Structure 1
Amino acid sequence: MKSIILFLLLLFSVKTEAQMLTSVYFMYNSFELNEKSKKKLDSLAQLKTNLKFRIFGNCDISGSSDYNKTLSENRANAVELYLKKKIGNNIKVISTVGLGKEKQINDNSTEELRGKNRRVDIFINQEFNAEEKIFRKEQPSFFSLDISQMKEGDIFSLPNINFIGGRHVWLSSANENMKQLFKILKENPTLEIELQGHICCDYENFDGEDLDLGTFNLSWTRATAIKEFLQQLGIGPNRIKVTGQGHLNPVAYPERTEADRVRNRRVELVVIKK
């Protein structure tokens, strides 16, 4: 939530509309807001900048299409009703939609992953100066430091490991650093990491569509592709956690050039255990 507020404070002019997103999650077969979700919505409602919210309800794949459509609508309506009691005149809810199970962001293979589909996404829109661009400082390179200098929780970039648009296939320019990533993990057998995938461009969804798989979890499949590559070379799967960050935290925004888009099609690395 803090990163969303800091980003919104940077967006202050007119002409082009900028967008960020946050999500709240629900228990199975429920549209009741829990305390954690209420706190997040309270933080959104306290924003003083003039904003527009668009609300989209989602479900996992359990149940019929009609049932999930209704459940997702109930979730979206619960968020809208809660927000409307809290927000001032500076924030307007301009649409509330239940999508059912149309926008699955992962393969639903575990309860944790199914839980990520039981959510409501809130898109936060604000006008943005057409000439203005924000560059977020990139994380230090994972290849520039010795493991002994790293701390648990540190986040690193994986330079030149970028992806083809709409796909979980990396560009050929990534090959050398992919080999270097494997080498570091092989030489440090106690090292455990998290791979965080990112996308560019798709601001109508939390995550992008993977054109090869037809799923809306492109950031996750990009990180998973790297994990599978490392597994094939002998790195144990228990050493690598995978998450998808969608289009949150771009390093270049708005993406005016193909170079901007390529920079955002990336995977970052978090040190979990040395």
Structure 2
Amino acid sequence: MKTRYILLFLLLSITTYSQEKFDVFFDFNIDVPNESSAKIFQNWISENPKAEVTKIYGYCDSVDDKSYNKELSAKRINEVIKILKENKLQLNENVELMPFGKDFKLSNNQSENRKVTLFYNLPKQQKISVLTNEEIPTDSDIKSKIDKETKSLLTKFKNAKKGDVITIDNIYFYIDSDKVVEKSKPILLELYNIMKQNPNLKIKINGHICCNTDMKDVKLSSKRAQAIYTYLVEKDILFARVFHEGFGSSKPVYKIPEKNDSEKLANRRVEILILEK
């Protein structure tokens, strides 16, 4: 009897919940998502069918008065709720709805203020064994590789043309997570600087993982590509310049299962497709 109680506790402790957020963007004075954001929103919905939305905040740009903007923000919230319900996503019974007029920190880029932010929980299965066989290198190995990648990134983009794919091998994530290892952040910062210095540059972030024999499982790679997208957008890169997609292990450099660590590393990569330059 005692053994059963212990086993039940272990099973219950495996499932935790993580608080996440997602932005849906709108055009000026419009209460339905713009075409680009609507597609990204639909992708997010299909990738997160078990999400539970806990808060929905609506925002506007600084044009018009506070009262009108608050009303428009409320309409945007209602439109997002409609889309969520049509797709049968779960709203928390105490979901918090908050439309803002002008009483929030406005971005200097007006298009980034026209949005609805969803806060949601995802059930996260903490795997006891690491199914992806991913390994994070030692600190000294990471620093050396990150320094080399950061220095070479500008040259890669400078020599690239529309349609080219740039491979970034050394953005490390924690095992089975979309959280970037802190020591990899210089590469993301360099990518942001390149985007900032080249205002006509449009890119698509393609995420790939190793080791997974289920080619249809793209969730982790999608979340990792989205994490890089979110990093750039939150640092003021216009969302219409950045797109993202996860391919899982469906496009490996080396056949899965890989034969060694170097093949795993080659398959576990981030690619940047140049859309416009």
User: Which category of TM-score, normalised to the shorter sequence, fits these structures?
Assistant: 0.3 to 0.5
Q: Which has the higher contact order (CA 8 A, sep 6+)?
A: 1
Structure in which a larger fraction of residues adopt helix: 2
Give TM-score scaled by structure 2 length.
Answer: 0.43
Q: Which has the larger radius of gyration?
A: 2
